[in-house]
Amino acid sequence: MRFTETRVAGAYLIEPEPIADGRGFFARTWCREEFLANGLTPELAQANISFNHRKGTLRGMHYQEAPHAEAKLVRCTRGAIFDVALDLRPGSPTYRSWFGAELTDANRSMLYVPEGCAHGFLTLADATEVAYHMSAPYAPAAARGVRWDDPAFGIEWPGEVVVINERDASYPDAGP
């Protein structure tokens, strides 16, 4: 796997390195030792999928409050998304910075979102499916979010938001 650090401290774009032959290819998408060597949280406590009917579906920006903070490893297994990590760690040198990448079923890239960062995505194709691996189990009482279009963050989404649930649309502004 190739680990490329993004402009959000601790967030990485991870690309598999396929080994091809006449059958197709084989590629590793997770390795505890490689995650540790790159300073990433290697624990996997939960795995989920998200299926989205329509292009323009926005999910996010979600995170879990400490002590239930979670790292996420996100991969698009069908279709395409614009995936975003947003740094919400007040002591971080990249506080309030964001990074976005196009993850597709064709490029097989993944985004590692560290603890203390919010995560969200916009679907770029109909019938898109996203796989998540989290370092901590879901804790409903610790679930939090910030608004996807909050001017304090200035996230530049690459398309129109057509579908969004009421909770994600109504998070308050973070302020200046």
- Residue 166 has, within 13 A of its CA and on its CB side, a CA count of 0
Per-residue model confidence (pLDDT) at position 174 = 86
User: With the C-alpha atoms ordered 128, 134, 136, 137, is the resulting torsion angle positive or negative?
Assistant: positive
Q: Let me know if residue 142 belongs to a domain.
A: yes
User: 99: domain CATH number?
Assistant: 2.60.120.10
* Angle, CA of 155, 157 and 161, to the nearest 5°: 120
Q: Let me know if residue 159 belongs to a domain.
A: yes
Q: Which two tokens stand for residue 150?
A: 């909050």
Number of domains within the chain: 1
Q: Let me know if residue 175 belongs to a domain.
A: no
Query: By residue range, what is the domain housing residue 138?
Result: 2-169
Per-residue model confidence (pLDDT) at position 106 = 97
Active site residue 62: yes
Per-residue model confidence (pLDDT) at position 7 = 97
Q: Let me know if residue 174 belongs to a domain.
A: no
Catalytic one of 12, 53, 62, 133: 62
Q: Let me know if residue 176 belongs to a domain.
A: no
Catalytic one of 63, 95, 112, 132: 132
Active site residue 171: no
- pLDDT average per 10 residues of sequence, the chain (176 residues): 97 97 95 96 96 98 97 98 98 97 98 98 98 97 97 97 96 83
pTM for this prediction: 0.95
